[in-house]
Amino acid sequence: MHIHHYHSPIGMIEIKANDDALLELNLIKENENLSSDNSIIQSACFQLSEYFEGKRKNFNLPLSLEGTEFQKKVWKELQNIPYGKTISYADLARRIGHPKAYRAVGSANGKNPIAIIIPCHRVITSDGNPGGYAYGLKIKKYLLDLENKQLI
């Protein structure tokens, strides 16, 4: 496994990949600098830089997801939420064919192993509140504002 620490506007992001796919992307508090010459990690860093500069709306990286079938279904559907748009947890539950499972959808959303690239930050509550975010509401708001600013 290859690990790289990427400095972003929202903090340090740890990127993990094997030779075939991206495995994890997490915000971390550590200051240790790790770098890797893995081509998938290099592509992820390049695409993240473009995203934070407002030049990229879609990511094109191979992903390898470890989780339950339900979680994988949620994570796959998250990738269908357009850049700059939001949907509710209830809408996401309906989209995957489990309309009453919005709490389970919220739990799966919170366990998303590849933040930003799988845009779990685009899911909000039915009443329009931001809901939760594994890395805090300040970062969720930053990501949503970044995307909305690019659409103007």
Catalytic residues: 120
Question: How many Cβ atoms from other residues are within 10 Å of residue 130's Cβ?
Answer: 14
Cα–Cα distance list, 13 to 31, 34, 44, 84, 145 (Å): 10, 11, 11, 21, 19
**Both tokens assigned to 32:** 């240790």
Between β-strands 87-88 and 123-124, what pairing exists: parallel, antiparallel or unpaired?
parallel
Backbone dihedral region of 106: left (phi > 0), alpha (psi from -120 to 50 degrees) or beta? Answer: alpha
